[in-house]
Amino acid sequence: MEKTAVVTGASRGIGAAVAGALARSGWRVAVCCEKNRERAEAVCASITAEGGTALPFCADVSDEAQVTALFDAVRGALGEPSALVCSAGIAHWGLFTDMTAAEWDRLFAVNVRGAFLCCRAALPAMIRAKHGRVVLVSSMWGQVGASCEAAYSATKAALIGLTKALAQEEGPSGVTVNCIAPGVIETDMMAGFSAEDKAALCEDTPVGRLGTPEDVANAAAFLCSDAASFLTGQVLGVNGGFIV
């Protein structure tokens, strides 16, 4: 049976890797980005070249009307989604006391409100079908907090709380809700780190390396699979042992 997955933040990094992993697992994938349609199209082209099915979609996940339009478009083009991976997110680095209210609000708008709006759009059909998979991408900093990343840590902690609550609420309807808490992953968010910084982070990671987007994508694909039907409300730390 053909199945459709929506992946937000899928034009690059973890989201793009998740889209590819799901496509290789037989999912038709909605590759969602905020505005960089060319990058989303490139991800789709890569998936198609491997024999998968993927289409690009653009929406600001913090905008209610755009999220509604996004899911309507996905349903029309690929069918009703039975999996949702919320990977869209932004970061902020700096002292908490220097942060503006606008910066704080924008992080919560994308990272938390975006997950809320996408889950709310996807869940009713999953509940009716008595089957569905939701995966929220948090961070290990949502578990333990990070200096100079207070707002980012707070948003990622909120996703963990949302995961645990939704798992309780939607479990009776056959919908699982899980969370991935990546460690230090080699993505664009690491662009500002020097080689020395990265080397130090590798030393702090028991497995001795930084994570890759594919490390997270493999976990997401598993959580969306039938093999994970008895897993819900869990926070899976894909962090190389950085925190345990």
Angle between helices 114-129 and 150-170 (to 10 degrees): 10
Catalytic residue among 152, 154, 166, 219: 152
Query: 3-238, superfamily in CATH?
Result: NAD(P)-binding Rossmann-like Domain (3.40.50.720)
pLDDT by position in tens, the chain (length 244):
679 999 999 999 999 999 999 999 999 999 999 999 999 999 999 999 999 999 999 999 999 999 999 999 999 999 999 999 999 999 999 999 999 999 999 999 999 999 999 999 999 999 999 999 999 999 999 999 999 999 999 999 999 999 999 999 999 999 999 999 999 998 877 777 778 888 888 988 999 899 999 999 999 999 999 999 999 999 999 999 999 8
pLDDT of res. 1: 62
Residue with tokens 């039938």: 226
Q: How many residues does the chain have?
A: 244
CA 101, 103, 106 angle in degrees (round to 5)?
105
152 catalytic? Reply is: yes
CB 22 within 8 A of CB 29: yes
CA pair distance 9, 15, nearest whole angstrom: 5
Residue 176 vs residues 13, 55, 76, 103, 169: alpha-carbon distances, Å: 24, 25, 24, 32, 10
pLDDT of res. 3: 96
pLDDT of res. 203: 87
